[in-house]
């Protein structure tokens, strides 16, 4: 069984400030971890993913996330927020391999607001 | 870049009516999925579909739900007799391969279903 918890349903930052969106997961198998972003009236767009290898992964739009197995965390960061980053962000987990292809378990989402 | 397209963007139906949500996955993709998000809740996996049959389904996907790939391009979700609690945003997704390792899901913009 897998689960994802995103701490904070709303995060507000000033433009240029650090963005930190928290995600903790639970998985009985080695996890694949994902961050998706959803802009208003659009679908879910993949920001980045961790599968194997390097634990610090870089994604689009300057975002990155670090897989910390000891902490069961996969927090999303961006050094300097931009107004265009305002969106809802979803952390998701799936099992590595197996037959549950594409079966993602999502967190509840975090709405990021960026103030000028 | 190829996109997953969903129609309609918003569907209103009366309780007890049948509804069909339509999706056109990316053309060379082989795996197809439906997810839904009830307002204020998490995005939830409904069903995965490969080689003209269901690969996996969640507890939500009961006998009221069915999926079909009627031709080479469309992928549909049918709800036979809608209930108020079926009101949600329904997302279609596709991937070129089953494992999420290097073939993350591509999501459509969603269809908002409102059951009155």
At A76-110, the pLDDT tens digits run 999 999 999 999 999 999 865 555 658 899 999 99
The reply to whether residue B48 touches residue A101, judged by beta carbons under 8 angstroms, is yes
Phi, psi of B3 (to 5 degrees): -130, 155
Residue A78 · residue A62 · CB < 8 Å: yes
* Omega cis (within 30) before B8: yes
Whole-angstrom distance, CA of residue A31 vs CA of residue A18: 27
Calculate the average pLDDT of chain B: 92
Buried/exposed B74-104: b ≥16 CB within 10 Å, e otherwise:
ebebebeebeeebbbbbbbbbbeebbbeebb
Rounded to whole angstroms, the Cα distance separating B106 from B87 reads: 23
Q: Which residues pair with A115 in a beta bridge?
A: A14
CA distance A43 to chain B (A): 4
Spatial distance between the Cα atoms of A45 and A5, rounded to a whole number of angstroms: 19
Closest by CA to A20, choosing from A51, A65, A54, is A65
pLDDT of residue B113: 98
Choose among B67, B24, B26: nearest CA to B49: B67
DSSP-derived letter for residue A10 is E
A46/B109 CB distance under 8 A:
no
What average pLDDT does the structure give for chain A?
90
| A18 band by pLDDT with thresholds 50, 70 and 90 | very high
B53 shares contact with chain A (CB less than 8 Å): no
3-state secondary structure B53-115: EEEEECCCCCCCEEEECCCCCCEEEEECCCCHHHCEEEEEEEECCCCCCCCCCEECCCEEEEE
Question: Which residue from B4, B56, B106 is facing A99, i.e. has the nearest CB?
Answer: B56
User: What local confidence, expressed as pLDDT, does residue A61 receive?
Assistant: 93
At residue A99, the pLDDT reads 52
pLDDT in the model for residue B109 = 92
**pLDDT band, residue A53 (cuts 50/70/90):** confident
CB contact under 8 A, B48 and A49: no
Report the alpha-carbon distance of residue B94 to residue B31 in Å, rounded.
Answer: 5
Query: CB of B107 within 8 Å of any CB in chain A?
Result: yes
Residue A71 distance to chain B (closest CA, Å): 22
CA distance A97 to A75: 23
Mutating which of B42, B55, B97 best tests the A interface, going by the most A Cβ atoms within 10 A?
Answer: B42
Q: What is the pLDDT of residues B28-84, one digit of tens each?
A: 898 999 999 999 889 999 999 988 999 889 999 999 999 999 887 899 999 999 999
């Amino acid at each position: 069984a897998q689960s994802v918890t995103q701490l904070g349903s709303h995060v507000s930052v000033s433009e240029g400030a650090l963005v930190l969106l928290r995600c903790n997961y639970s998985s009985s198998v080695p996890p694949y971890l994902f961050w998706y972003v959803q802009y208003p009236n659009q679908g879910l767009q993949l920001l980045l993913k961790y599968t194997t290898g390097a634990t610090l992964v870089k994604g689009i739009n300057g975002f990155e996330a670090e897989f910390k197995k000891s902490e069961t965390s996969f927090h999303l960061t961006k050094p300097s927020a931009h107004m265009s980053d305002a969106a809802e962000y979803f952390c998701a987990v799936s099992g590595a391999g197996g037959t549950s292809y594409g079966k993602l378990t999502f967190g509840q989402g975090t709405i990021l607001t960026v103030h000028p | 870049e190829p996109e997953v397209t969903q129609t309609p963007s918003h569907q209103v139906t009366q309780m007890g009516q049948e509804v069909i949500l339509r999706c056109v996955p990316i053309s060379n993709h082989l795996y197809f999925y439906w997810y839904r998000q009830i307002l204020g809740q998490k995005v939830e996996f409904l069903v995965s579909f490969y080689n003209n049959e269901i690969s996996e389904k969640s507890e939500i996907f009961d006998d009221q739900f069915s999926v079909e790939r009627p031709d080479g391009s469309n992928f549909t979700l049918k709800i036979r007799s809608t209930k108020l609690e079926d009101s949600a945003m329904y997302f279609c997704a596709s991937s070129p391969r089953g494992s999420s390792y290097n073939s993350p899901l591509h999501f459509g913009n969603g269809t908002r279903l409102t059951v009155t």
